[in-house]
Amino acid sequence: MELTNLVAVDEFPSLPDQAPSEVYVIRNIGLRDGTHKFHRYPGKFIPHVPRWALKKHAAHLSGGVVIDPFCGSGTVLVESALAGQMGFGFDVDPIARLVSKVKTTPLDERRLLSYQEQVTEYVSSTASGTFQPKIPTLPHWFSQQAIRDLSILRDAIDLFRSDADIYDFLLVVFLAIIRRSSNADNQTQKTYVSHTHPKTPEAAKPLFLTTLQDYVDRILEFGQLVRLMGGKGEVLGPWDARAFAELWQSRELPFADLAITSPPYVMTVDYVYNQMAEYFWIGDLFGLSTQDEQNEHKQMYIGTQKVSRTTYASEFRLGISSIDETIAFVSDKDTKNGYIIYKYFSDMKIHFSEMARILRPGAHYVMVIGDSIISGFPIETHTLIEQCATEVGFVQEHSFAYEIRNRHMRFPRAGRGGLVKYDWIVDFRLDR
């Protein structure tokens, strides 16, 4: 669908009433407010989306339960906590879980400032480090000075392993400066060294200390706000969005009052590859130090392109006519891509079934969904995914679009996936 009329707003209206050709443009992106600034995670969506959903569907609740089953960098969990709600999230990506946990975990001020002073003293007075990534091509990605400084920083952080919350906080500060101190380009999600536009890396140690001060100020402010509002954010673990209802119930968690998320795109961004520089330095913490480990892990993501040839050797159909027609059309051009589309919508249908088990009857599920171009064919994911939801008891109440204006949210997929120009906000209700 071609959207041509831009409607500028500061926040999404309570009852969106777009004409077919209209698309919202948010004047103030606000991605860097508070702890939202922590880490440039791939595919981060704007906090205006959960704010709209919370105001519309949870404003009457106090301590209501909000779930984000693809929590990414924790945007929904942060906004839920700030709104006085109990936000729960999970994700298969380990950096996502780490960042989400840190962004939503208030820290004791006296303890944090004491550790900040100790880290600063260690980093400032140490000339060499012991930690060394086991990556043969490390000098391609980092200068020798950057390697020495990052090694010192990792050693400094490892001194505080006994205090899990502080340790995780320091790791996220570390994550925030790795790409900027590397030779890899800063202006794209993909990790690569540009030879046409060579980069001058920032010095790692002063960048870390500056970022540390900034993040300390932000997490202390966040703690003050959530204590005032009474909200909370919690990351539940590396749960799979296709099989989590039993885990939710085994934890004796209450039915959720609202769900807000942004699921992966068809032929999703490669989260591991896009954070490759970061995994060089912290991959050992997650068992993702080697390329083989990383490639195996990639298969866990919904929408992944990491599929085996044997999986698409035979015919595949979902049983939903509009989706099967799309699968057949793309398969005629590229069988693998046809299978990827089939697997994506099959997984999302299973996901909706899981969500129906843990949402209260009548609860809303607000999704941010981007369309794609695969094998030259436009895939209107936001309309096809409605069919998956309808199959298991959801009905769509609203659907409206906004223009993506933050370049770090765009996926540079060359000719294979096209440029994601709009995001669609689709508001489902569990009709039972």
Assess whether pLDDT exceeds 70 at residue 411: no
User: Would you identify the CATH topology of the domain 5-106+231-273+344-373+380-430?
Assistant: Rossmann fold (3.40.50)
Return the minimum-mean-pLDDT range out of 75-84, 131-140, 179-188: 179-188
- Does the structure show a pLDDT above 50 at 295? yes
Q: Where are the domains of the chain?
A: 5-106+231-273+344-373+380-430, 109-223
User: Is the per-residue pLDDT at 289 higher than 90?
Assistant: no
- What contacts 24+ positions apart, CB below 8 Å, involve 408-414? 408/40, 408/44, 408/189, 409/43, 409/44, 409/45, 409/46, 410/189, 411/42, 411/43, 411/189, 411/265, 411/269, 412/188, 412/189, 412/190, 413/267, 413/269
Q: Which two tokens stand for residue 22?
A: 């209209």
Q: What would the pLDDT profile of 98-137 be if each residue is shown by its tens digit?
A: 999 999 999 999 999 999 999 999 999 999 999 999 888 9
- Split at pLDDT 50, 70, 90, the class of 370 is confident
**Residue pLDDT, tens place only, 262-272:** 998 887 678 88
Section 7-31 average pLDDT: 78
pTM over 0.85: yes
What sections of 303-334 are H helices per DSSP? 321-333
Separation of alpha carbons 379 and 231, rounded Å: 38
**3 vs 421, higher pLDDT:** 421
Q: Which of 68, 71, 8, 76 is nearest to 48 (CA)?
A: 76
State phi, psi for 241 to the nearest 5 degrees.
-65, -5
Report the Cα–Cα distance between both ends of the chain, in Å, rounded: 31
Question: What is the model's pLDDT at position 292?
Answer: 85
pLDDT score, position 408 = 46
Q: Which residue has the tokens 């339960």?
A: 65
* Number of Cα atoms under 13 Å in the Cβ half of residue 384: 25
